[in-house]
């Protein structure tokens, strides 16, 4: 499906990445990505596009990350997508598959951003585990100014059902608006991935023949599992594995959404008024699939005082393994500035 580029030169890449003839140049930086295909009309599910607005051009925004609607006014996404960012820079697009067709689309402004208090930006890149697993708490919520009405919120896998629904070797579905094989972005793609293992807070997927992987611009997007009768939200796209050669196409790491149900509900009840009502009224209840509704333990460690968090302009959300002075970084988050779109307003 897609992947990530050096943030500093992201604006240059996005100028060419919207054209199919950019495929050769983009693949030289990211490696090939396999297994994704354009989503059908019935495969939008609860997936939304997280767009970063272009201040100098009204009603224009860059495809940046992906998210999942978990309540009518709440979007679950990756913390590294919105870390140290202001809400007014973002807009959420829902109900569309193609960046050139917004017939049924809905675009909603972001009122506020809530990053998990335990999010560890440094650990995102420097996990001790050889595969890159850690308790990074790479989740954030976008509180919308008005509810989304064109698609339904996702139900989250109950913590007690994780082992049953995601055993090693099981298949899951990922989706996102990130970079595709031809270097373009902003169109919804879906792919099947294979679960290697789950931890208390994360999911690890592995490379498999004829399957796909998430990439640039897919950060924050969903990993769904079959909950019968429908799909349930299990994971939030976070980053590439650190024990593989390519940042895309060889498996990845997803935050386990089930571990954060209690936190999501707490934020929904605590963020305050949105457009004259309470956030919880606008958001609606957080839906957990059948089974236990215990959201699991969520780390309450606050790493905000570690003194290592970069400034807004320095946040390394788009670094390749060898882009830091020739020193390999441990993992690569899957956010990236992508193609610019013009949205109705």
Mean pLDDT by 10 residues, the chain (345 residues): 33 34 29 62 92 78 89 96 94 86 88 96 92 96 96 95 95 84 71 94 84 84 90 95 85 96 91 46 56 35 28 31 33 56 66
Q: Based on the number of CB atoms within 10 Å of its own CB, is 122 exposed (0-12), middle (13-18) or buried (19 or more)?
A: middle
Structural domain includes residue 75: yes
Bridge partners (DSSP) listed for residue 324? 327
Structural domain includes residue 1: no
Residue 76 and residue 295 in contact, taking contact as beta carbons nearer than 8 Å: no
Compute the distance between CA of residue 246 and CA of residue 263 in angstroms, rounded to an integer: 33
Compute the distance between CA of residue 176 and CA of residue 63 in angstroms, rounded to an integer: 11
pLDDT the model gives residue 102:
79
pLDDT the model gives residue 34:
42
Structure tokens at 196: 């290697």
Structural domain includes residue 80: yes
pLDDT the model gives residue 232:
97
Q: If DSSP codes are grouped into helix, strand and coil, which group holds residue 261?
A: helix
pLDDT the model gives residue 248:
82
Closest CA to 24 of 32, 15, 35, 14: 32
Tally of domains in the chain: 1
Structural domain includes residue 2: no
Structure tokens at 5: 């580029």
Structural domain includes residue 142: yes
Structural domain includes residue 94: yes
The CATH number linked to 100 is: 2.40.10.120
pLDDT the model gives residue 2:
40
Structural domain includes residue 115: yes
Q: DSSP letter string over 74-143?
A: EEEE-HHHHTT--GGGEEEEES-SBTTB-TT-EEEEEEEEEE-TT--HHHHH--SSTT--------EEEE
Structural domain includes residue 238: yes
Compute the distance between CA of residue 311 and CA of residue 33 in angstroms, rounded to an integer: 31
Q: If DSSP codes are grouped into helix, strand and coil, which group holds residue 273?
A: strand
- Taking the CA atoms of the chain, what radius of gyration do you get in angstroms? 18
Q: What are the contacts of 10-16 at 24+ separation with CB within 8 A?
A: 10/318, 10/336, 10/337, 11/337, 13/337, 14/62, 14/185, 14/337, 14/338, 14/339, 14/340, 16/183
Domain boundaries, position 129: 7-342
């Amino acid at each position: 499906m897609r992947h990530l580029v050096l943030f500093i030169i992201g604006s240059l890449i996005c100028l060419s990445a919207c054209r199919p003839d950019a495929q050769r140049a983009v693949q030289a930086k990211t490696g090939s990505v396999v297994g994704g295909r354009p989503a059908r009309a019935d495969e939008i599910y609860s997936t939304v596009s997280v767009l970063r607005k272009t201040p100098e051009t009204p009603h224009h925004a860059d495809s940046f990350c992906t998210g999942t609607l978990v309540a009518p006014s709440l979007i679950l996404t990756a913390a590294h997508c919105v870390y140290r960012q202001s809400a007014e820079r973002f807009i959420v697009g829902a109900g569309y598959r193609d960046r050139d067709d917004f017939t049924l689309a809905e675009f909603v402004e972001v009122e506020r951003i809530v990053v998990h208090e335990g999010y560890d930006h440094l650990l995102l890149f420097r996990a001790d585990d050889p595969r890159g697993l850690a308790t990074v708490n790479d989740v954030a919520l976008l509180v919308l100014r008005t509810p989304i009405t064109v698609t339904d919120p996702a139900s989250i896998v109950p913590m007690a059902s994780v082992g049953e629904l995601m055993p090693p070797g099981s298949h899951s579905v990922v989706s996102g608006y990130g970079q595709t094989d031809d270097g373009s972005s902003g169109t919804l793609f879906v792919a099947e991935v294979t679960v290697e293992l789950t931890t208390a807070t994360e999911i690890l997927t592995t490379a498999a023949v004829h399957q796909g992987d998430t990439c640039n611009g897919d950060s924050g997007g969903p990993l769904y599992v079959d909950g019968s009768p429908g799909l349930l939200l299990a994971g939030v796209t976070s980053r590439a594995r650190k024990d593989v050669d390519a940042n895309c196409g060889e498996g990845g790491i997803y935050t386990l959404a089930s571990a954060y149900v209690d936190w999501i509900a707490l934020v929904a009840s605590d963020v305050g008024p949105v457009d004259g009502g309470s956030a919880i009224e606008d958001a609606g209840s957080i839906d957990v699939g059948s089974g236990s509704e215990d959201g699991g333990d969520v780390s309450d460690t606050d790493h905000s005082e570690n003194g290592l968090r970069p400034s807004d302009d320095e946040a390394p959300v788009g670094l390749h393994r060898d882009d830091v002075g020739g020193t390999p970084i441990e993992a690569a988050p899957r956010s990236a500035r992508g193609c610019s779109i013009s949205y109705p307003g």
